[in-house]
Amino acid sequence: MEAVSTPALAQAPNPLLPHNLSPWGMFLNADIVVKAVMIGLAFASLVTWTVWLAKTIELRVASSRARRRIRMLEEGGSLTDAVHECDGERDAIAQLILSTAREAELSDGIVDDGFKERVALRLERVEATMTRQISRGTGILATIGATAPFVGLFGTVWGIMNAFINISESHTTNLAVVAPGIAEALLATALGLVAAIPAVVIYNHLARVITGYRVLLGDASAQLLLLISRGQRSRGMVLPRAAE
């Protein structure tokens, strides 16, 4: 009878052990602070991928439109033609063209060195404004990439601290009892890395794409400066309806 009862007792489930050691089960069994950290990191990861999708679409559309405008400027038309082509448009290259036309209007169509300098200053200002506008939302990626590992580490430290408290209260050092609490704590660090690594990679990728977009703006500015340097005063440099 004793031989039968001994294995039965050995196979009895330990009430100190969690029944589910999957990531979801560890999340449910984690401390409230660790749960809050995990939820925050999951939300940060969602923000990262949302920004990636939104900025990828925005940059692709903006770059395609900028290339089309540059091809139009390279065809050698007048500034008046360029303004008519951009009528009602608010994209970056259109803003460069309209800003140049506005300066031509204010300068009474006089093309000299001072006019070129004023146009160059306007173009630099518009380029900076458009670059800031297209870069909106990428800063959050840098913040997530820099802070997510530390937030996850905080959750891990808090979870391990609670695991040791539970060890003290249960009066046991059995690894099977200790390990689940530590695993739950380490899950927070894993989620921190899951949130941080894509954020850093996506931020660097978007930074390169934005740099390429800024190069396109520089090309458009160069084309406009070449256009006005030809001194085409007879082809309608004065544009009464030109506006930024």
Q: What is the pLDDT of residue 175?
A: 64
Whether residue 201 is contained in a domain is answered as yes
Number of domains in the chain: 1
CA 163, CA 31: separation in Å to the nearest integer?
10
**Rounded CA Rg of the chain:** 31
pTM beyond 0.75, yes or no:
yes
Residue 24 in any domain: the answer is no
Indicate whether 153 belongs to any domain.
yes
More confident residue, 120 or 176: 120
Q: Are 53 and 209 in contact (CB under 8 A)?
A: no
The pLDDT of residue 35 is 86
Q: Are 156 and 69 in contact (CB under 8 A)?
A: no
- Alpha helices (H) along the chain: 2-10, 23-29, 32-74, 79-85, 92-106, 113-135, 139-170, 175-229
223 located within any domain: yes
pLDDT of residue 25: 66
pLDDT the model gives residue 24: 65
- The residue that leads in pLDDT, 208 or 182, is 208
Q: Is the pLDDT of residue 102 over 90?
A: no
Q: Containing domain of residue 163, as a range?
A: 29-235
110 to 113, 177, 231, 236: CA distances (angstroms): 10, 85, 9, 11
